[in-house]
């Protein structure tokens, strides 16, 4: 039954999909879907507006309108399901896909022949997608971890030699994936792996800020003493900013 109450309203024109609002909502009412923040269920929003101050674009407001009443029990079920989904990410895929099997290997040190123009790969493990790597992956333990937006290697021609060498890499897209899931999984990884250092590579576009925010929040919760750097890369292969946090 609908009633008039306060509830979140999102201006899609102003929202750039950065994802900073998502972790601010303790009820899990917000998600990034199709590159925009969305209210996934009226019953999950308590109308208190904890997410308002997290939006750099001012795209979130509170309005008073007819909406389904806030349901605390539905929130508990919703959050429990999200936690279960996160746990399933650490389990083997039911299909047994060999492409997702964990593998560690030694990067090539061979010099290219005259016929070859490729530089040696510095990748030391597989898979690389954050969604596929379990927190207990052996190549993450005590590693120098690189959390990389998946557009970065296309903008940095010497990505392997400049950033990837001697690092374990986690790749993701904060605009297309669930940023709160990223934050929770990164917290698990940092807690389990106890990394030596963490480096974030993000693009200059605003939505990439969600990745840096998720890593910063996860580091603060699980490994506050671990050194953290955030590098912002321009689309013309110029490093715009380097922040040490």
Mean pLDDT across the stretch 121-137?
Answer: 90
Range of the domain at 231: 121-244
Residue 116 has pLDDT above 60, yes or no: no
**Confidence class for position 104, pLDDT limits 50, 70, 90:** low
| The predicted structure's pLDDT at residue 94 | 44
pLDDT, tens digit (0-9, with 9 covering 90-100), for 17-40: 888 888 888 888 998 887 888 999
Whether residue 201 sits in one domain with residue 125: yes
Structure pTM?
A: 0.58
Whether residue 236 sits in one domain with residue 131: yes
Whether residue 134 sits in one domain with residue 70: no
**Confidence class for position 105, pLDDT limits 50, 70, 90:** low
pLDDT, tens digit (0-9, with 9 covering 90-100), for 63-88: 999 999 998 898 888 888 777 665 55
Selected residue with higher pLDDT from 237 and 109: 237
| The predicted structure's pLDDT at residue 170 | 97
Kindly report the CATH number assigned to the domain that includes residue 45: 3.30.70.20
| The predicted structure's pLDDT at residue 211 | 93
Residue 117 has pLDDT above 60, yes or no: no
Whether residue 238 sits in one domain with residue 126: yes
Mean pLDDT across the stretch 157-177?
Answer: 91
| The predicted structure's pLDDT at residue 95 | 47
Whether residue 214 sits in one domain with residue 139: yes
Domain annotation covers residue 198? yes
Residue 222 has pLDDT above 80, yes or no: yes
Could you tell me the sign of the dihedral formed by the alpha carbons of 71, 83, 85, 37, in that order? Answer: positive
Number of separate domains in the chain: 2
Spatial contact of 45 and 39, defined as CB atoms under 8 Å apart: yes
| The predicted structure's pLDDT at residue 60 | 92
In DSSP notation, the chain reads --EEEEEEEE-TTT-----TTTTT-TT--EEEETTEEEE--GGG--S--TTGGG-TT--EEEEEEEEPPP-HHHHHHHHHHHHHHHHHTTSPPTT--GGGS-EE-PPP-PPP-TT--PPPP---EE--BTTT--TT-GGGTT-EEEEEETTHHHH-TTHIIIIITT-EEEEE-TTTS-HHHHHHHHHHHHHHH--SEEEEEEESSGGGHHHHHHHHHHHHHH-TTS-EEEEEE-TTS-EEEEEE-
Mean pLDDT across the stretch 4-11?
Answer: 92
pLDDT, tens digit (0-9, with 9 covering 90-100), for 39-51: 999 999 998 888 8
Kindly report the CATH number assigned to the domain that includes residue 178: 3.40.50
pLDDT, tens digit (0-9, with 9 covering 90-100), for 184-209: 999 999 999 999 999 999 998 888 88
Whether residue 180 sits in one domain with residue 133: yes
Mean pLDDT across the stretch 119-142?
Answer: 90
Domain annotation covers residue 192? yes
């Amino acid at each position: 039954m609908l009633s008039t109450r306060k509830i979140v309203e999102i201006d899609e024109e102003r929202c750039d999909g950065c994802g900073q609002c998502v972790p601010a909502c303790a009820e899990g009412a917000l998600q990034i879907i199709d590159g925009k923040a969305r209210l996934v269920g009226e019953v999950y929003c308590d109308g208190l507006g904890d997410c308002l101050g997290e939006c750099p674009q001012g795209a979130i407001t509170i309005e008073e309108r007819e909406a389904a009443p806030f349901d605390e029990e539905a929130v508990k079920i919703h959050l429990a399901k999200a936690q279960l989904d996160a746990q399933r990410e650490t389990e083997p895929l039911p299909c047994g896909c060999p492409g997702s099997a964990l593998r560690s290997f030694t990067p090539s040190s061979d010099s290219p022949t005259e016929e070859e123009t490729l530089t040696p790969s510095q990748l030391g493990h597989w898979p690389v997608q954050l969604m596929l790597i379990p927190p207990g992956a052996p190549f993450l333990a005590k590693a120098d971890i690189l959390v990389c937006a998946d557009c970065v290697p296309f903008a940095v021609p010497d990505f392997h030699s400049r950033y990837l060498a001697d690092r374990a890499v986690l790749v993701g897209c904060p605009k297309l994936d669930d940023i709160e899931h990223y934050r929770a999984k990164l917290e698990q990884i940092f807690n389990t792996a106890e990394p030596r250092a963490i480096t974030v590579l993000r693009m200059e576009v605003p939505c990439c800020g969600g990745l840096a925010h998720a890593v910063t929040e996860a580091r603060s919760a699980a490994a506050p003493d671990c050194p953290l750097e955030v590098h912002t890369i321009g689309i013309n292969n110029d490093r715009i900013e380097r922040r040490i946090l």
